[in-house]
Amino acid sequence: MSAIPHREPQEKQAVTWDVFSEGLWRDNPVLVMMLGLCPALAVSNSAINALAMGLATTFVLITSGAIISLLRRFIPKQVRIATYIVIIATFVTLVDYAIQAISLDLYNALGAFIQLIVVNCIILGRAEAYASRNPFGRTVINATGMGLGFTIALLVLGGIREILGAGSLFGFDLFGPDFEPWVVMILPPGGFIVLSLMLVAFNLVNRRLGGGAKQAKGHGHAA
Amino acid sequence: MSTHEIKHVPEKTSPWPLLITLGGIAMISGLLVVVAYQITRPMIEANQRAAISRAVARVIPGAVSHRAFVISREGLRPAKKGERGNIIYAGYDKNGHLAGIAARASAQGYADIIYMLYGYDPKCRCIRGLKVLKMTETPGLGDRIKTDPDFLKNFQALDAKLDAEGKDLEHQIITVKHGKKRHPWEIDAISGATISSRAVGRALNASARRILPLLLPRIGELEKAAPQDSKETRP
């Protein structure tokens, strides 16, 4: 019996902190995997837009991941991508209606990018790479981490752009009437500039953290 | 033995599991979407009504309630729920008198079509308010048509009188360069946002030319159609 290989060896692994946290930092969708940059750049011109987009994406990531994980043994591999897309599109449509019901202003501000969550590479990527191979619990926890990582990255990006480009945060005026907004920051080039600076900062921090660890390891080897 | 053989059958990939999987998932998805649509529809409609009420109150000074009508060559009739076309909103003050008329206008701006609502005051025969409903103009430049106080001053009393025959505007509404406004039917453009400012002028002109000649002969009907309950705001 032991000669029969287990179909999904990963399933034996326990739910660890790492399952949740890899999306937050080590494999952050925006800052490390560089997935979903199109909506990340397009709707991060204000903090509230970034937050709404992040939460909508998180919801779709978790729900579609959960369903795909539950059905993973029943979905024939020949039609798996088509099936995933139908499942993802369903949840995106639900989010679309929900946002319209919550606030039309927000819906108009996010424009076509809510519907475009269907083709956001993070979601299909996580469905194929994670949800289709992992049990329900792990998938939900991992998707939550990934979604929060995406939301936090977007929120920082949107917050910086709104503060510099409009002198406000979540619509609250920060600097008073004498502040001259740095308009380019809420225009598309500002998105690229702030994202690149965030990537530099992220990699500097990572190098300091990871570099220190490596150095210690190296010393150990030498000794 | 027979169960052992059956175990190997799926390897030959019969089309049925594929069809059943895709068809089943699509059916469940369809159901979910319809349920979500049914649940959220009243809320979305309420949001849209609230947005229109707010906009009408903004462009018609003193309006506390409104009713929607469809205007055409055949005349004026109350708009049905969800109807599209030449819709105008008659705004009534707290005594139930006609305070003004709001109508939609739209024109191609710099980035995309700008949608707006404007208020027409039959007493001064002028446009007394403007609210941009939807636009994607450049932040910091074109989007000042929504916020720039000097630009919005253009719409405190923008002349929109009809000519002697009542078939067209006496003076076309036109956007002029910043600081060049000489006549009450001219709109003073925002410097640095000329294209967006011109779009506003074009939209107002086109809408006023189309709607006012049809509407003004029937304005008495609107006065009589005042809602019994002044709280009534259903479109």
| Residue B20 CA to its chain's centroid (Å) | 45
Residue A159 confidence (pLDDT) above 90: yes
Mean pLDDT throughout A202-208?
A: 91
Chain-chain contact of A75 with B33 (C-beta, under 8 angstroms)? no
Q: Which of A3-17, A19-33, A146-160 has the lowest mean pLDDT?
A: A3-17
Are B166 and B160 a contacting pair, CB within 8 Å? Answer: no
Tell if the CB–CB gap between A187 and B18 is shorter than 8 Å. no
Report pLDDT for A84: 94
Contact across the interface for A100 and B139, Cβ inside 8 Å: no
pLDDT-derived band at A222, boundaries 50, 70, 90: very low
- Look up residue B105 and give its two tokens: 């206008």
Q: For testing the chain B interface, which of A68, A83, A118, A186 should be mutated: the one with the most B CBs within 10 Å? A: A83
CB contact under 8 A, B32 and A90: yes
Q: Where are the alpha helices (DSSP H) in chain A?
A: 17-21, 37-42, 47-71, 80-102, 104-110, 121-129, 136-166, 188-222
From the number of C-beta atoms within 10 Å of its C-beta (0-12, 13-18, 19+), residue A114 rates as: buried
Q: Average pLDDT of A54-79?
A: 93
**Which string of b and e fits A149-168 if b means at least 16 CB within 10 Å?**
bbbbbbbbbbbbbbbbbbbb
Rg from Cα positions in chain B: 26
> What is the predicted pLDDT for the residue at A216?
44
- CA end-to-end distance (rounded Å), chain A: 45
Per-residue pLDDT tens over the stretch A12-38: 567 788 888 888 888 888 888 888 888
Each residue's pLDDT tens digit, B41-85? 999 999 988 888 889 998 998 888 888 888 888 878 888 776 777
Average pLDDT value for chain B: 85
Q: Is the pLDDT of residue A8 over 60?
A: no
Distance in angstroms (rounded) separating the CA atoms of residues A114 and B171: 44
Angle formed by the axes of helices A80-102 and A47-71, nearest 10°: 140
Does residue B231 have a pLDDT over 80? no
Range from A9-18, A107-116, B23-32, B87-96 that averages highest in pLDDT:
B23-32
* AA letter at B203: A
Asked if B29's CB is within 8 angstroms of A87's CB, the reply is: yes
The rounded Cα A186 to chain-centroid distance in angstroms is 21
Q: What is the pLDDT of residues B126-141, one digit of tens each?
A: 999 999 988 888 777 8
Confidence of residue B10 (pLDDT cuts 50, 70, 90): low
Q: How far apart are CA B27 and CA A197, in angstroms?
A: 46
Most confident range, picked from A38-47, A192-201, B207-216, B224-233: A192-201
Which chain B residues touch A118 with a CB distance below 8 Å?
Answer: none
The whole-angstrom distance between B19's CA and the closest CA on chain A is 9
- pTM tops 0.95: no
| Mean pLDDT on B201-220 | 90
pLDDT at A11: 52
pLDDT of B230 above 50: no
State whether A76 and B26 contact (CB < 8 Å). no
Nearest to B44 among A94, A100, A108 (CB): A100
Cβ–Cβ of B141/A183 closer than 8 Å? yes
Residues in A closer than 8 angstroms to B32, CB to CB, are 90, 94
Instruction: Kindly report the nearest CA distance between residue B147 and chain A, in angstroms.
Output: 13
Distance CA A69, CA A136 (A): 5
Note whether B136 contacts A: Cβ–Cβ < 8 A. yes
What angle do the packed helices A47-71 and A121-129 form, to 10 degrees?
Answer: 30
Beta carbons of B33 and A165 less than 8 Å apart: no
Give the pLDDT of residue A211: 61
Q: CB B26 to CB A94 under 8 A?
A: no
Tell me the nearest-neighbour CA distance from B193 into chain A, angstroms: 14
Check residues A203 and B220 and name the one with the higher pLDDT. Answer: A203
CB atoms within 10 A of CB A138: 22
- The arithmetic mean of pLDDT across residues B224-228, rounded, is 74
Share of chain B above pLDDT 70, in %: 91
Report the distance separating Cα B206 and Cα B114, nearest Å: 13
User: What pLDDT is recorded for position A217?
Assistant: 43
pLDDT band of residue A157 (cuts 50, 70, 90) is: very high
The answer to whether residue B72 neighbours chain A at the CB level (below 8 Å) is: no
Q: Which residue on chain B is closest to A111 by alpha carbon?
A: B136
Q: Do B139 and A98 touch (CB under 8 A)?
A: no
**Nearest C-alpha neighbor of B114 from the set B94, B90, B138, B81:** B138
The residue-averaged pLDDT of A159-170 equals: 90
Tokens encoding B219: 């304005």
Give the residue from chain B lying closest to A82, CA to CA.
B22
CB atoms within 10 A of CB A197: 12
Q: Is the pLDDT of residue A208 over 80?
A: yes
Which residue, B213, B154, B205, is CA-closest to B184?
B154
Predicted confidence at residue B29, as pLDDT, reads: 95
How far apart (Å, rounded) are the C-alpha atoms in residues A86 and B208?
Answer: 46
- Quick check: B21 and A93 CB within 8 A? no
B156 touches chain A (CB under 8 A): no
Average pLDDT over residues A70-87: 91
Give the residue extent of every domain in chain A: 17-222
Say if the Cβ atoms of A97 and B40 lie within 8 Å. Answer: yes
The ipTM value here is 0.76
pLDDT in tens, B111-128: 889 999 999 998 888 999
Length of chain B: 235
Nearest to A79 among B22, B48, B51 (CB): B22
- Reply yes or no on whether the pLDDT at A187 is more than 70: yes
- Residue B40, chain A, CB below 8 Å: the answer is yes
User: Nearest by CB to A83, which of B25, B40, B138?
Assistant: B25
